[in-house]
Amino acid sequence: MKAAKELKNELFYTKKNVYQLTDEANVKAAFDYAEGYKNYLDNAKTERESVTKAIEIAEKAGFKPYTLGQALKAGDKLYYNNRGKSLFVFTIGSENIECGIRISAAHVDSPRLDFKPCPVYEDSGMAFFKTHYYGGIKKYQWVTIPLAIHGVVTLKYGTNVEINIGEDENDPLFYINDILPHLGQNQAKKTLGEAIEGEQLNLLAATSPYNNEDEGEAVKLNVLAILNEKYGITEADFLSAELSAVPADKARDIGLDRAAIGSYGHDDRVCAYPALTSVIDNADSVHTLMCVLADKEEIGSEGASGMQCSIFPDLIDEISKALGADSAVVRANSKCLSADVSAAYDPNFKDAFEKRNTPELSCGVVLIKYTGSRGKGGTNDASAEYIGWLRSVMEKDNVIWQTGELGRIDLGGGGTVAKFIANLNIDTVDLGVPVISMHAPYELISKVDLYETYKAFSAFCKY
Ligand code: MN
Ligand code: MN
């Protein structure tokens, strides 16, 4: 008979962390890879900037713009830019397209504060921009932190003006007021969710009047005069604008060992970046590969730039048609990794998690069979066969992976783009990086988890 210890080694599944399972070279590669990611983060705070930066990276690797209806051949490296807000980067493999496409789909929108259509107003010597929050935020986290403004304003005759204020160290910043603790007794009695209300998320824009004049609304006028001088815009131009307040900080190493990264927008750039770079780095794969960088995931994947838009199946149709294939067959044989983050176990909030089934920081890429809420409501529940296939693929490249679900049962829940892709008859499972403080203005991830995610996507592209 075998000794218990030996048999346990054979039969038990034990989660181990990446540092224990891999060598120094792997950790070094992870830290090197993280530098490129941090650069991406600092230049991609909105979906538009993420798409622009991704195109820059793809073009550097020889990818060319694709137009619907274009002829295609094996070896092509292309990207389809959807309205500057979502992106499809794809290669045409040498095998028959009816063997399917390997799709990795991430999203590049993150929770933030969008400007309302009529944002500017003045009250008591202060001018503000009114905002409407986008995505799931804890409102109290957005007061008294440095904020920057990113976005575009479309002028009456269609010219786009790009705005980015607060990222250069010489730029001014923006700010949302909070009440001092000395006068905060009424606020302190409220629940955390009610302490700061949506209509209080007003961005401080100026505190001095135009030309020092004692004229009504001169502080608001000052805001508009400064914007008009710099960008040529007037108050009416806000009606055709997409401006957002986002945290102004840069991505930085966290901890004495520099093993983690703090940043705004890890959800979901921390999956978008490895999904993109794995397709670029494996462009010579026999498979046809596609990386999707979608918009609007944080508000339900709706609209023309969201994952539910028909442009995604349309593209598969167009690619199939150009190669003389039946797109229904292509979709039936395609495989997808829905590349999104998961909630990492947080020892400061033990009650929120069921530890056996929660991903832990530095234990590798997370494979999530199902998301949803309550009785798995609203989830793509990936099949045993598909997960089994993926396990064997990751094994080939020694990818360190772990399983997970989104916290304790009945405590809340969430979803990803997975179900919208699976609904098109494409096997799909969620795979991504565990995040601490998800949706906070400054989130945290581990560098080795990021790198194992890149290795997982790469193996998916290759085998
Ligand atoms: Mn996400
Ligand atoms: Mn999210």
Model pLDDT for residues 157-199, shown as the tens digit of each residue: 889 999 999 999 999 999 999 999 999 999 999 999 999 999 9
The Å distance, Cα 83 to ligand 2 centre, comes to 22
Domain end residue (candidates: 247, 275, 303): 247
Answer positive or negative: Cα dihedral of 242, 243, 249, 255: negative
The Å distance, Cα 296 to ligand 1 centre, comes to 10
Residue 111: closest CA among 181, 25, 47, 192: 47
Give the CATH number for residue 424.
Answer: 3.40.630.10
The Å distance, Cα 301 to ligand 2 centre, comes to 11
Nearest ligand to the C-alpha atom of residue 110? 2
**pTM recorded for the entire structure:** 0.96
Answer positive or negative: Cα dihedral of 299, 316, 291, 97: positive
The Å distance, Cα 441 to ligand 1 centre, comes to 14
> Which residues are within 8 A (CB) of 393 and not within 5 positions of it... i.e. 6 or more apart?
459, 460, 463
pLDDT at position 156 is 86
Residue 408 has pLDDT above 90, yes or no: no
Could you tell me the pLDDT band of residue 372, with boundaries at 50, 70 and 90?
confident
The Å distance, Cα 22 to ligand 2 centre, comes to 30
The Å distance, Cα 416 to ligand 1 centre, comes to 6
For residues 302 and 283, state if they share a domain: yes
One-letter identity of residue 230: K
- Burial per residue of 118-130, b for 16 or more beta-carbon CB atoms within 10 angstroms, e otherwise: ebbbbeeebbbbb
The Å distance, Cα 250 to ligand 2 centre, comes to 19
SS3 label, residue 128 = strand
For residues 137 and 235, state if they share a domain: yes
Residue 249 has pLDDT above 90, yes or no: no
The Å distance, Cα 191 to ligand 2 centre, comes to 23
The Å distance, Cα 105 to ligand 1 centre, comes to 11
pLDDT at position 378 is 85
Nearest ligand to the C-alpha atom of residue 438? 2
Domain count, the chain: 2
For residues 334 and 442, state if they share a domain: yes
The Å distance, Cα 326 to ligand 2 centre, comes to 35
- 87 found inside a domain: yes
Cα–Cα distance, 458 to 463 (Å, whole number): 9
Range of the domain at 222: 112-247
- 255 found inside a domain: no
The Å distance, Cα 155 to ligand 1 centre, comes to 32
Give the CATH number for residue 143.
Answer: 2.30.250.10
The Å distance, Cα 210 to ligand 1 centre, comes to 42
